[in-house]
Structure 1
Amino acid sequence: MSTLLALDASSRACSAALLIRRPGETDALIARFAHTPREHTRRLLPMIDEVLAEAGLDPTALDAVAYGRGPGSFTGLRIAAGVAQGLAFGLDRPLLGVSTLEALALSAHRRHHFRHIVTALDARMGEIYVAAWRCHDGIVEALSAEAVLPPERLRLPEESDEFDWVGVGSGWALREAMPATVLASLGQCLVDPEPAAEEMALLAARDLASGGGQPAQAVQPVYLRDTVAWQKGR
């Protein structure tokens, strides 16, 4: 059996998820999710206790810890990073940082079967955090680098004309400022979804299986504020 705990506080939502894998059995995924603006510090630790208690496990049973490493709310990223680093360091377990934009894409794929997704989060200061993805059978492939930029500078990957794109995330509330060519390629738009620990647990398990995972002190949040150019997919 392998167990992985994932945490997220990168947005208005706060979440925790416990992934349990047993040979020959379907994965068990126990999750908590709530919209708790400005209450992440108070809610995150009880959520961890709840998912562990539901599974009947002690923290020492964890094989790895993961968290939403960004981009997102600077304060929320630091809260999740601090809790995750503390757990991983205290238990001497590997720590993994998971992209909030990738988790948002996987969530949209799992729930709605979307295949070509542009995830965008409101970065404040008139900017968005954004990246493009191709999803198939639960696999997420990046079609662009993650970036922070004004919505009017958003461009889709070069092959965008071939796909029916879906916009997901709070950044799409700023779509009126986006170029007409981007909006013309958009099949639909979901503004409400938030990143969640449930998808972060799945992505972290993938990364752990491929050799990911670092000492707690080596994993840091990703803020993206120094990245201002949209890079097209190859």
Structure 2
Amino acid sequence: MPIKILAFDTTTELCSVALMIDHHIYDHKIVASRRHSEEILPMINKLLAEAGVALRSLDCIIFNRGPGSFVGIRIGICVAQGLALGADLPLVEVSSLVVLAQGAWRIFSIKQVISTIDARMGELYCARYYRMSDNNCWRCYNEESILTAETIATDLTCSTILKGSWVLAGTGWNNYVVLKNIKINDTIFLKKIVMSPEAQDMLPLGAQSFRNKMFLTPKQAQPVYLRNKIVST
């Protein structure tokens, strides 16, 4: 059944919005740094106008629950709650780390992905994924976690399951020397392409959850930080 879905992401410096009308995708993104709160609503309104649809005519709104920037996650959830309440729409949540995996699949068509987002203070948000089939279903080998760059490097070097081709997606790989040039025998790593979660990659994930009736009310939308300590800037 054709669906109309809005997705947006504010969890990293990249601010992105995407809209799926049937199978046509409208997409817009900018590097917003600390301007997410100023940019996100005008970007959403512009995309809806471009597609010629009203917010109330959508089937659901997809938001990124994190992990990522503490402030960015809160902005995204507040915007999602406000839009959902105003238009009486259900919400669907996605993880920023799974969104990175979906972006890697879109670019490389490789089913094995390790996603990282730089959490600062020498740590990274990290998860390892395998794409089960072509229906946007990802299996997480380990729980989403926050680890030091050295721990991730050690885990990868000692791993017995890293065979074949993997995509190293996210900002963490280029920000730490111990991870930047990591090599493992019999393993091919592709990286430096998928850097930030993008709203267009939230659409297939959210559409799958929507079809499975995995909805949230605005009150149920909660952030996932993985770390309770706020980074000082």
Q: 2:200 aligns with which of 198, 201, 205?
A: 198
Distance 1:2 1:178, change over 3 A: closer
SS of equivalent residue, structure 1 residue 195: coil
Q: 2:33 aligns with which of 33, 37, 42?
A: 37
AA in 2 matched with 1:69: R
Range with greater deviation from structure 2 (149-158 or 65-74): 149-158
Q: Which residue of 2 aligns with 1:129?
A: 125
Count of aligned positions = 220
Query: Residue 151 of structure 1 contacts residue 174 of structure 1 at CA under 8 Å; is this kept in 2?
Result: no
Q: Which residue of 2 aligns with 1:230?
A: none
Unaligned runs of 5+ in 1: 22-26, 227-234
CA distance in 2: counterparts of 1:191 and 1:53, whole angstroms: 30
Unaligned runs of 5+ in 2: 229-233
Q: Which residue of 2 aligns with 1:93?
A: 89
Query: Residue 174 of structure 2 contacts residue 192 of structure 2 at CA under 8 Å; is this kept in 1?
Result: no
Sequence identity percentage: 35
Query: Residue 56 of structure 2 contacts residue 88 of structure 2 at CA under 8 Å; is this kept in 1?
Result: no
SS of equivalent residue, structure 2 residue 209: helix
Q: What RMSD, in angstroms, separates the aligned Cα atoms of the two structures?
A: 2.1
Q: 1:115 aligns with which of 111, 122, 134?
A: 111
Is 1:58 aligned with 2:54? yes
Relative to the length of structure 1, the TM-score reads 0.86
Query: Residue 167 of structure 1 contacts residue 186 of structure 1 at CA under 8 Å; is this kept in 2?
Result: no
Query: Residue 110 of structure 2 contacts residue 165 of structure 2 at CA under 8 Å; is this kept in 1?
Result: no
CA distance in 1: counterparts of 2:117 and 2:193, whole angstroms: 9
Distance 1:18 1:161, change over 3 A: closer
AA in 1 matched with 2:32: T
Is 1:106 aligned with 2:102? yes
Deviations 1:25-83 (A, max 9, x none): xx111111111111111110111011111111111101111111101000111111110
Is 1:212 aligned with 2:214? yes
Q: Which residue of 1 aligns with 2:139?
A: 141
Deviations 1:64-105 (A, max 9, x none): 111111010001111111101101112221111111111111
SS of equivalent residue, structure 1 residue 137: coil
Query: Residue 5 of structure 1 contacts residue 18 of structure 1 at CA under 8 Å; is this kept in 2?
Result: yes
SS of equivalent residue, structure 1 residue 160: coil
Is 1:14 aligned with 2:30? no
Matches within 5 A, 1:174-193: 174-178=175-179, 183-184=183-184, 185=187, 187-190=189-192, 193=195
SS of equivalent residue, structure 1 residue 164: strand
Q: Which residue of 1 aligns with 2:80?
A: 84
Deviations 1:127-166 (A, max 9, x none): 0001111135363332221111111112249652333222
AA in 1 matched with 2:163: E
SS of equivalent residue, structure 2 residue 15: strand
CA distance in 2: counterparts of 1:138 and 1:12, whole angstroms: 29
Cα deviation for residue 125 of structure 1 reads 1.2
Misfit runs of 4+, over 6 Å: none
AA in 2 matched with 1:3: K
CA distance in 1: counterparts of 2:90 and 2:169, whole angstroms: 30
Query: Residue 104 of structure 2 contacts residue 194 of structure 2 at CA under 8 Å; is this kept in 1?
Result: no
